[in-house]
Amino acid sequence: MLTVTPAAAECLLKMLKLQDGPEDAAVRIVFDDDELTLRLDCQRDGDHAYVHDDRPVLLIDADTSEMLTDDTLDFEDDALMLSHPADES
């Protein structure tokens, strides 16, 4: 399962507070044309929701969750960064 650091969760929460979307919206990680993208979306059946301060901040469907099993989402140098254990060696 993807690991989301507290710094990344706080960044996602701040992003959501700046959006004009529905109160129950969260950021969704999707693969679009083999590229990772973030979109504002609402939770669907089968999603894994990452919650921060009692609010879902990140949504991932089962297929994407499987692809990101060992990865970590972090917030560094004013950017969200996705890292894989092989990238850290």
Look at residue 88 in the predicted model and tell me its pLDDT. 59
Q: Which residues contact 8 (CB under 8 A, 6 or more apart)?
A: 73, 74, 75, 80
pTM: 0.88
Token readout for 54 is: 């009692």
pLDDT at 53: 92
pLDDT of residue 3: 94
For domain 3-88, the CATH architecture is Sandwich (2.60)
Q: What is the pLDDT of residue 43?
A: 94
- What is the signed CA dihedral for 89, 32, 30, 22, rounded to 10 degrees? 140
The pLDDT of residue 32: 82
Domain boundaries, the chain: 3-88
pLDDT given for residue 48 in this prediction: 95
Q: Which residues of the chain register pLDDT less than 50?
A: none
